[in-house]
């Protein structure tokens, strides 16, 4: 959802999962592209070095 979801998918995500569950995925999912991971990290105020997908590989 964080990578390919549209507005309806994001609304479903937010109504189905807690914010902490979403943040956990954002912090740990290696499959997010750097562009998408950066967008969500900025939106949720998470430092880039806390997001696995943004760490130097």
Per-residue pLDDT, 53: 96
Our CA angle for 41, 46, 48, nearest 5°, is 70
Per-residue pLDDT, 57: 58
Per-residue pLDDT, 18: 96
Residue 55: CB atoms within 10 A of its CB come to 12
Name the token pair of 39: 């967008």
Per-residue pLDDT, 12: 94
Per-residue pLDDT, 4: 84
Per-residue pLDDT, 15: 96
Q: What is the mean pLDDT of each run of 10 residues along the chain (57 residues)?
A: 87 95 96 94 95 86
For residue 46, what are the contacts with CB-CB under 8 A and spacing of at least 6? Answer: 23, 26, 27, 40
């Amino acid at each position: 959802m964080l990578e390919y979801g549209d507005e309806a998918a994001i609304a479903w995500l937010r109504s189905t999962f807690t914010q902490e569950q979403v943040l956990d995925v954002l912090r740990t999912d290696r499959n997010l592209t750097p562009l998408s991971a950066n967008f969500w990290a900025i939106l949720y105020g998470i430092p880039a070095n806390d997001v696995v997908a943004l760490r130097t590989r």
